[in-house]
Structure 1
C-alpha cells in the first residue's frame, strides 16, 4: 500500500511540474505574441483576416463596396473568434502588451445637456448617454479597458448622481471615471505624460473660458485633447458600441464621412505608444492657431479633411475605415445604398421613433451585425422614444445584461 501511494505521489508531482512548465511556456508565448498581435494566441491569423476584409469587402476607396458583403464578412469573423475561444478563455490574454506591461486602452465620451430639467430634450439626451455607457460595459473587454466620461462643470448634477449610482460597481473597480473637461488641469497633466504634446502649444497658454454655446464643435477639441494625453478611443455620446473594439487598438483611425471625401471623427482612435505619427496632425492644427475658436474650427472634420494626413502611402497618419464599420445607416440615409432588409434602419428616426420592431425578433447581433458601433445622429432623430423601438429594446437588453440597479 505504501509503495502504491509513493508511486502515485511521484506521478502527481510530475504532473504538477508539467502543468507548471506548460503554463510558463504559454505565458511567455502570449507575452511575445502580444508584442505584435493582441488577440488570443489560439487564433493568430485573425488580424490578417480582418485586414484582408478591409482590403476587399470593406474597401473604403471603392464606391462599389457593398454593405451586406462588408458586414457579412465581419460577422463571419466575429463568429470565428467566438468558436475559437475556449470555455475557460482568459480575456486578459487579449490585452496589448507594452514594455512588458498590460496596456489599458482608455475609452472616452463627452456629452452635454442644456435642456430644461425633465423636458423631452433633457430626458432623451440623458437616455442617449446611458445607452452609450451601457453599450460600452456590455461589449468591451474590461480587463484591458477603462471608460472616461468628460463633461463641463455645469453638467446637470442630477444626471451625475444617477450615473454614480447606476454604475457604482464599475466606478468601485476603477473601470469608469467621470471627469470635468478643465483645460488648465489637462494642460498640466500633459506635461507629465510621456507621449503628450498638447502642453507645448499656444492652447495651453490661452485664457480658458469655455462657453456653453456651440458644444458640438467644442467636442471636437475635447476628443483631441484627451486622446493626446491618455490615448485610446473616443466616441460621441450618441454612439453605441456593438462589439469589442480590440481590432482597432493598434492604429490611429477615423472613418469616412458617408460617401464624401471627408473624414469623420465621431469615433476616433489614437495610440501613440504604437504610432506617434499622429503628432504631425497636432502640429498642423495647434501650432499656428491663435485662438480657441480657431483651434476648434480647424478640428472640425471638414477642416481636418483638407490637411495632408498621409506621411507616405504605407504609413498614413490616420487609417480611414469605411463608414459601414461605425455608422452603418448613413449611406442609406444619404440614398447611396438600399435597405439591407425591412428590419434595417435607413432614416435615423427609425431607431427610436418611426419604426415598430417586433420584440420577439429583436436580436442585437442582427442589428448591422459586424459593425463596431452605431451612430444615432442626434440632430436627425427627434426626442421621442417609442416602447417598441430599437432604442427601447437595446436599453432593456443592456440593463438586463449588466444587472444594473
Structure 2
C-alpha cells in the first residue's frame, strides 16, 4: 500500500459520507481523522477532563489501548497534519466505502505505521480496566459497582473509595474519560468531580479573578 500523505480534497466525493451523516458515533469517528489530517493536533472526547499537561505526548502520534481488548481507542487521538496514519485510514474508507472504517476497534487490523503509538489505557482512561474486570485487585480496593456505567459513576460523580483519596487518586493519569456516564445525573458533594470543581473555584477562578481586578 502506498503510505504517502493523501490529498483528501481530491477524494471527498469518494468517502462514504452519506452513510455516516445520520449516524452520530460514526460521524464523530470519521471527523476526528479528517480534521486532524487537514490541521493536525489533539482530539479529545467531550466526556474527558484533563488531569495533567499533555505536552509530553505532542511529539508522538497516538491513541490508547482499548481496555482489555487488543484494539485502539481514539477518545484521545494525536496526529500530525497530512499524517501517514490518517492517509491510510481515509484511503481505506474511500476504497471500501464503508461507514465502519473509522471505528476505533477496527484500527488494529490495518497496516498502520509503527510510530503510531498505542499508549496504556491507564494514562487516559484510568478506571476502564477496572470496570471491565482487567484489574480485579484494584476493583476490590475501589469497590466499584457491577456494570460499565455504574462503575464509572462510582468513581466520578459519587462519594466512593476513590473520592476518599482526593485529587491524587489517579496520580499516573493525564486525562479521565468517564464514557458519558454522568449524563443527566448530578454529582454528589465530596465526589471526585466535586473536588475538582472546588479546586477550580478556589484555586483557578478566584485567583484569576483577583489578578484581573488588580490590573
> TM-score band (shorter)?
0.7 to 0.9
Q: Which residue does the alignment assign to 2:121? A: 323
Say if 1:348 and 1:376, in contact at 8 Å, map to a contact too.
yes
Partners of 1:243 and 1:345 in 2: how far apart?
24
Q: Which residue does the alignment assign to 1:395? A: 197
Give the Å deviation of 1:219.
1.2
Say if 2:14 and 2:94, in contact at 8 Å, map to a contact too.
no
Within a 5 Å distance, the mapping from 1:349-388 to structure 2 comes to 349-356=153-160, 363-364=166-167, 366-378=168-180, 380-381=181-182, 383-384=184-185, 385-388=187-190
Partners of 2:49 and 2:23 in 1: how far apart?
23
CA gap of 1:387–1:196, structure 2 versus 1, over 3 A, is farther
Q: Which digits, 9 at most, give the CA deviation of each residue in 1:299-320, with x for residues without a partner? A: 011222221214xxxxx15111
Give the Å deviation of 1:199.
1.3
Within a 5 Å distance, the mapping from 1:169-180 to structure 2 comes to none
Partners of 1:334 and 1:395 in 2: how far apart?
27
Q: Which residue does the alignment assign to 2:109? A: 306
CA gap of 1:398–1:196, structure 2 versus 1, over 3 A, is farther
Partners of 2:25 and 2:90 in 1: how far apart?
23
The answer to whether residue 141 in structure 2 is matched with residue 332 in structure 1 is no
CA gap of 1:327–1:344, structure 2 versus 1, over 3 A, is farther
Give the Å deviation of 1:358.
9.6
Say if 1:344 and 1:367, in contact at 8 Å, map to a contact too.
no
Give the Å deviation of 1:259.
1.4
2:95 aligned counterpart, secondary structure: coil
Q: Which residue does the alignment assign to 1:224? A: 33
Q: Which residue does the alignment assign to 2:68? A: 259
Partners of 2:161 and 2:195 in 1: how far apart?
9
Q: Which of residues 202, 213, 216 in structure 1 aligns to 2:12?
A: 202
Structure with max Cα Rg = 1
Give the Å deviation of 1:352.
3.7
Give the Å deviation of 1:390.
1.0
Partners of 2:157 and 2:35 in 1: how far apart?
33
Q: Which digits, 9 at most, give the CA deviation of each residue in 1:151-195, with x for residues without a partner? A: xxxxxxxxxxxxxxxxxxxxxxxxxxxxxxxxxxxxxxxxxxxx8
Give the Å deviation of 1:278.
2.1
1:265 aligned counterpart, secondary structure: strand
* TM-score scaled by length of structure 2: 0.75
CA gap of 1:357–1:289, structure 2 versus 1, over 3 A, is same
Partners of 2:11 and 2:17 in 1: how far apart?
13
> How many aligned positions are there?
196
Partners of 2:17 and 2:24 in 1: how far apart?
18
* TM-score scaled by length of structure 1: 0.42
Q: Which digits, 9 at most, give the CA deviation of each residue in 1:364-404, with x for residues without a partner? A: 2x1211211111011x4553222221122212322333317
Partners of 2:79 and 2:45 in 1: how far apart?
15
1:298 aligned counterpart, secondary structure: coil
Name which structure has the greater RCO, CA cutoff 8 Å, separation 6+: 2
Q: Which of residues 84, 91, 102 in structure 2 aligns to 1:277?
A: 84
RMSD: 3.2
